[in-house]
Amino acid sequence: MRRLFLIRHPRPAVAPGLCYGRADIGLARPAEEEADRLRRLLPANAALFSSPLRRCRLLAEALCPDARFDDRLREMDFGDWELQPWSQIDRGFLDAWARDPLTFTPPGGENAQDLRARVTAFFDDVKRQRRREVIVLAHGGVLRAAASVLTGASDWLTLSFDFGAVSLVENGAFIWTNRR
């Protein structure tokens, strides 16, 4: 693939301060409004791959009737932390995660290395399809892992992708990020 458009889902309908990853929550605004805004940034005939979680799926369906959904694009699984206030999560666990963000696994969840492995497998499959332009609609953690896989970014855990924004990767390099 020559050009890859990465979209982070729009702002989800979740209370501030809650941990969410695999939780299947909706959008704060109608998907059609977001799709209308994004269409001007995207190629008309590119294949669109999306996380099946509702906050991505709703927008994907509004953007493209032929969207393909792939479980490997789901957000990181935070296990027992899902939909818990960050302030209620054991401080010792959070400190352990901060010390080792790649391999620390929240109780009942997955770690960032596992997330990166499934994102790598997804992009390996997409590359074999030899498409010129691809759109991926996913989550912040997935897009950070994608940046690592596609551009070799070593600081991928610290990258930021805004809600409802598009970033373009062309020939293995970011051309622009967080465009609205």
Residue 42 has pLDDT above 90, yes or no: yes
Residue 87 has pLDDT above 80, yes or no: yes
Is the pTM of the predicted complex or chain greater than 0.75? Answer: yes
User: All domains of the chain, ordered by start, with CATH?
Assistant: 3-179 (3.40.50.1240)
- The confidence score (pLDDT) of residue 1 equals 74
Nearest-angstrom CA–CA distance, 96 and 71: 28
